[in-house]
Structure 1
Amino acid sequence: MRLGGTVCCDHPAEWEDKLVQSGFRAITAPFNCETPREETERLLRIVEKHDAAIAEVGVWRNPFDPVTGPASLDYAVHQLQLADEFSIPCCVNIAGTESPFGWDAADPGNFSEAMYRRLVSSIREIIDRANPKKAFYCLEPMPWMIPDSPEVYLQLMQDVDRKQFAVHMDFVNMINCPRRFLDAESFIEECFSKLGPYIKSTHLKDSRMDPMQLTTVLNECSPGEGSLDFVRVLKIIDRYLPADAPVLLEHMTTFEEYRRAYDYVAGKAAEAGVCI
């Protein structure tokens, strides 16, 4: 697998040095559809020079916000076109919400039939308008949004019925109850066994639960700071995905945090006999 993450750097002139120091073989796109063309091409040359791969282009905007929704949907179209132009396999967003509390907030309406129909329609519109040939539009699973299980993801793919709609894997986001947490590795195996052929990018992090706190509180955390058995997890990923599949660490805020997480996972990969 190509293990990597986001290259954190406050100074653009130092970005290439940070990429080299990170050891990452896969990264999130360091540009978007609004980046000046010459800057995008400069970054692409650096990535190619160091044999890294850009695994995904992020959208991270809410197409169902009553004010900004239309602009967010347009942005998703442009980001998918960008990914397609540069053969970046995954353009990823979350489903979105009508909640007034945030672009990624939990809300009862997130699981309504009306929202499901809106979601299917929005995904079709984004793909049809962008008309990609190489890139795929994907949704990151969320604990309180569709898709929140491998079965729901498969059903959504069937209902969207677009060849360029595929899977972004974030199994920790679907570990959203004690039953899944307490048998996490079996659930992760289920995720990859059902969705493996459609996965274009994978996020890697850890999960922890306080076994004595009521009611249930689950938190994501950096690899090694939770309860997942990363030797087993990495063997599962290696079994179901191609050898060059991108696997991205996420949600660290500094270069040093990413470096520690990378070193931890690399060590577990060596234990597991998994090549990174």
Structure 2
Amino acid sequence: MRLGGTVCCNNPAEWEEKLVQSGFRAITAPFTCETPREEIQRLLRITEKHDVAIAEVGVWKNVFDPAEGRTNLEYAVRQLKLADELSIPCCVNIAGTESTAGWDAADRGNFTQAMYDRLVSSLREIIDRASPKKAFYCLEPMPWMLPDSPETCLQLMKDVDRKQFAVHMDFVNIINCPRRFLDAERFIEECFRLLGPYIKSTHLKDSRMDLMRLTTVLEECSPGEGSLDFVQILKAIDRYLPADAPVLLEHMTTFEEYRRAYDYVAGKAAEAGVGI
């Protein structure tokens, strides 16, 4: 696998230095469709120089926002076009919500049949308008938004019925109940077994549950700070995904936090006999 994460720095020269220091072999795109083309080309030359794959282009906008939904959908189309133009395999977003509480809010409406139908329609529109040949549009699974299980991912792929719609894997996001947490390695294995052929990018993090509080409190955390068995997880990723599949650490706030997480996972990969 190509293990990596996100490198943040405003100056391209400093960004290159941080990229090299990170040891990352895969990264999230450090640009968007609104970035000047000359800057994009400079960043691409840096990644090519150091044999670092750009694994995914993020959208991270709510296409169902009551006020900005159409503008956000247009942005999703443009991001997918950019990913396709640059042969970046994954353009990823979340499904979205009609809630006014936030762009990724939990809301009872997220699971209605009407929302499901609207989601299928929006995914078809984005893919049809962008008409990608190399990039795939993907949804990151969420704990309180579709898709929230591997089975829902498969059903969405069937109903969207577009070749360039695929899967983004974030198994921690859908370890959203005690049953999945307490049998996490079996659940994660099932995610990769069912979805492996369709996964274009994977997010990697840990999960912990507060065993002293009622009711359930689950939270994500950096690898090594939770309860997940990374030897078994890395073996599952290696078993079901291609050897060069991108696996990205996420949601750390500093370079040092990313470095610690990378070193922890690299150590577990060596223990598991998995190449990174």
Q: TM-score, normalised by structure 2?
A: 0.99
Task: Provide structure 1 residue ranges, at least 5 long, that are not aligned to the other structure.
Answer: none
Amino acid at match of 1:51: D
The CA deviation at 1:49 is: 0.3
In structure 1, how many angstroms separate the alpha carbons of the residues matched to 2:248 and 2:138?
A: 15
Amino acid at match of 1:129: R
The answer for the alignment partner of 1:35 in structure 2 is: 35
Does the CA contact (< 8 Å) of 2:201 and 2:245 recur in 1? yes
The CA deviation at 1:172 is: 0.3
The answer for the alignment partner of 1:55 in structure 2 is: 55
In structure 2, how many angstroms separate the alpha carbons of the residues matched to 1:205 and 1:248?
A: 9
In structure 2, how many angstroms separate the alpha carbons of the residues matched to 1:131 and 1:125?
A: 10
The CA deviation at 1:115 is: 0.3
State how 1:110-259 maps to structure 2 within 5 Å. 110-259=110-259
The range that moved more, 10-19 or 83-92, is 10-19
Amino acid at match of 2:269: A
In structure 1, how many angstroms separate the alpha carbons of the residues matched to 2:8 and 2:37?
A: 21
The answer for the alignment partner of 1:17 in structure 2 is: 17
Amino acid at match of 1:223: P
The CA deviation at 1:211 is: 1.3
Amino acid at match of 1:116: Y
CA offsets 1:62-95 (integer angstroms, 9 cap, x no match): 0000111001000000000000000000000000
Amino acid at match of 1:122: S
Identical positions, percent: 85
CA offsets 1:76-124 (integer angstroms, 9 cap, x no match): 0000000000000000000000111100000000000000001000000
Runs of 4+ in 1 over 2 A off after TM superposition: 8-13
CA offsets 1:231-253 (integer angstroms, 9 cap, x no match): 01100000000000000000011
Specify the SS of the correspondent of 1:106.
Answer: coil
The range that moved more, 217-226 or 1-10, is 1-10
The CA deviation at 1:11 is: 3.8
The CA deviation at 1:13 is: 3.1
Task: Provide structure 2 residue ranges, at least 5 long, that are not aligned to the other structure.
Answer: none
The CA deviation at 1:9 is: 2.4
The answer for the alignment partner of 2:268 in structure 1 is: 268
In structure 1, how many angstroms separate the alpha carbons of the residues matched to 2:152 and 2:211?
A: 28
CA offsets 1:3-29 (integer angstroms, 9 cap, x no match): 000012254430000000000000000
In structure 1, how many angstroms separate the alpha carbons of the residues matched to 2:243 and 2:28?
A: 19
State how 1:74-85 maps to structure 2 within 5 Å. 74-85=74-85
Amino acid at match of 1:20: V
CA offsets 1:202-236 (integer angstroms, 9 cap, x no match): 00000000112100010000000000000011000
Does the CA contact (< 8 Å) of 1:4 and 1:249 recur in 2? yes
Does the CA contact (< 8 Å) of 2:138 and 2:165 recur in 1? yes
Does the CA contact (< 8 Å) of 2:29 and 2:58 recur in 1? yes
Specify the SS of the correspondent of 2:134.
Answer: coil
Specify the SS of the correspondent of 2:207.
Answer: strand
The CA deviation at 1:39 is: 0.1
Does the CA contact (< 8 Å) of 1:166 and 1:199 recur in 2? yes
In structure 2, how many angstroms separate the alpha carbons of the residues matched to 1:8 and 1:258?
A: 11
